[in-house]
């Protein structure tokens, strides 16, 4: 009986010992990924039309309207045909993508607003300070 118990304990200990690095690696990887994630969603596609600071972004799955804030706050220069990547959040009310930032295919970035808190233009109609 003692020999069977010992063999069983050795088998369980071996399985645990060989599995432990994978468990630790999975936890570290998950934590690391969480620390690297920025708030919001990121989508890429082609700009198909532009009206003011709003534009339609299309990829192979569909289209979404991107809201890049009011033109009186900051005028963006996006043209139809451009390939861009937008990070933002989907508005529950309008189902538009409210942009935090827009990255052009050349890597240049247009910052629209911080990801946390209300947009800076929500409190007043004064323009941003340079």
Let me know whether 1 and 16 are in one domain: yes
pTM over 0.85: no
- Asked, for residue 129, whether it belongs to a domain, the answer is no
Let me know whether 61 and 25 are in one domain: no
> Are the beta carbons of 79 and 110 closer than 8 angstroms?
no
**What is the tens place of the pLDDT at every residue in 32-78?**
444 455 568 889 999 999 999 999 999 988 999 999 999 999 999 99
More confident residue, 101 or 11: 101
Let me know whether 53 and 109 are in one domain: yes
* Residue 118 CB coordination number (10 Å): 9
- Asked, for residue 11, whether it belongs to a domain, the answer is yes
Residues forming a β-bridge with 102: 86, 110
Q: What token pair was written down for 1?
A: 């009986």
| CATH number of the CATH domain containing 60 | 2.40.50.200
């Amino acid at each position: 009986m003692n020999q069977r118990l010992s063999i069983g304990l050795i088998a369980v200990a071996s399985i645990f010992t060989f599995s432990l690095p994978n468990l630790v690696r999975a936890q570290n990887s998950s934590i690391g990924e969480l620390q690297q994630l920025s708030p919001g969603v990121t989508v890429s596609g082609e700009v198909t039309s532009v009206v003011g600071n709003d534009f339609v972004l299309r990829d192979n799955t569909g289209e979404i309207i991107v809201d890049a804030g009011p033109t009186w706050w900051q005028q963006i220069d996006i043209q139809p045909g451009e390939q861009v990547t937008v990070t933002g959040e989907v508005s529950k009310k309008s189902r538009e993508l409210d942009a935090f930032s827009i990255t052009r295919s050349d890597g240049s970035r247009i910052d629209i607003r911080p990801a946390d808190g209300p947009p800076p233009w929500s409190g007043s109609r004064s323009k941003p300070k340079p």
